[in-house]
């Protein structure tokens, strides 16, 4: 009976490492696609991608949040709030809130957040600095997403 040689074992290990690496790459790619799918079906663009004067999403500012020079919503009083024409700022009994820039920009977006920061904010409605996430962000619904789905959205 023939016993495995060191060379044969090394070859087997190299093949196994390659297979495991390819599986990880496929899972990462699948995770990116899953995250994009979730962001699209959950309506993230509805608030975080500004709309132009024609009411259509300004795709060049995809998920960039409220533009700094855009009009701000004004609260008219009463039980209902108001929405700015860009669909990125809202005014209501809570005050005025703005859609956050969700891009990886380190100065205006989530570029300094970690995956754990994102998941905590989605689960608790609290930003890494302790500030609360204001309406109309539906974080209480997002809190029910699976860990895998939140990680895919972060990716």
pLDDT digits (tens, 9 = 90+) for 77-122: 988 889 999 999 999 998 999 999 999 999 999 999 999 999 999 9
Tell me whether residue 128 is in a domain.
Answer: yes
Confidence of residue 6 (pLDDT cuts 50, 70, 90): very low
Tell me whether residue 21 is in a domain.
Answer: no
Residue 67: both structure tokens together: 């533009």
pLDDT digits (tens, 9 = 90+) for 135-151: 899 999 999 999 999 99
Residues with Cβ within 8 Å of residue 49, at least 6 apart in sequence: 57, 58, 59, 61, 62, 63, 64
Reply yes or no on whether the pLDDT at 20 is more than 90.
Answer: no
Q: Are strands 89-92 and 95-98 parallel, antiparallel or unpaired?
A: antiparallel
Tell me whether residue 92 is in a domain.
Answer: yes
pLDDT digits (tens, 9 = 90+) for 34-91: 999 999 999 999 999 999 999 999 999 999 999 999 999 999 998 888 999 999 999 9
- Domains of the chain: total: 1
Reply yes or no on whether the pLDDT at 19 is more than 90.
Answer: no
Distances (CA, A) of 155 to 31, 63, 67, 112, 150: 7, 14, 24, 14, 9
Q: What is the rounded distance in angstroms from the CA atom of residue 70 to the CA atom of residue 84?
A: 9
Tell me whether residue 5 is in a domain.
Answer: no
Q: Which domain does 76 fall in, by range?
A: 31-154
pTM passes above 0.75: yes
pLDDT score recorded for residue 38 = 96
Question: Helix, strand or coil for residue 90?
Answer: strand
Residues with Cβ within 8 Å of residue 73, at least 6 apart in sequence: 81, 82, 83, 84, 89, 90, 91, 96
**Per residue in 66-84, is it b (16+ CB within 10 Å) or e — as a string?**
bbeebeebeeeeeeebbeb
pLDDT score recorded for residue 26 = 39
Q: What is the rounded distance in angstroms from the CA atom of residue 77 to the CA atom of residue 79?
A: 7
């Amino acid at each position: 009976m023939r016993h495995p040689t060191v060379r044969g074992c090394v070859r087997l290990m190299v093949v196994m490492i390659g297979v495991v690496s390819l599986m990880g790459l496929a899972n990462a790619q699948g995770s990116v696609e899953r995250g994009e799918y979730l962001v699209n079906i959950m309506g993230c663009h509805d608030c975080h991608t500004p709309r132009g004067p024609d009411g259509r999403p300004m795709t060049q500012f995809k998920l960039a949040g409220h533009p700094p020079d855009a009009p701000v919503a004004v609260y008219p009083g009463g039980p209902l709030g108001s929405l700015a024409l860009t669909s990125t700022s809202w005014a209501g009994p809570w005050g005025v809130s703005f859609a956050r820039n969700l891009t990886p920009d380190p100065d205006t977006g989530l570029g300094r957040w970690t995956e754990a920061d994102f998941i905590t904010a989605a689960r608790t409605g609290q930003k890494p600095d302790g500030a609360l996430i204001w309406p109309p962000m539906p974080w209480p619904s997002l809190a029910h997403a699976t860990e895998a789905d939140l990680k895919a959205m972060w990716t």
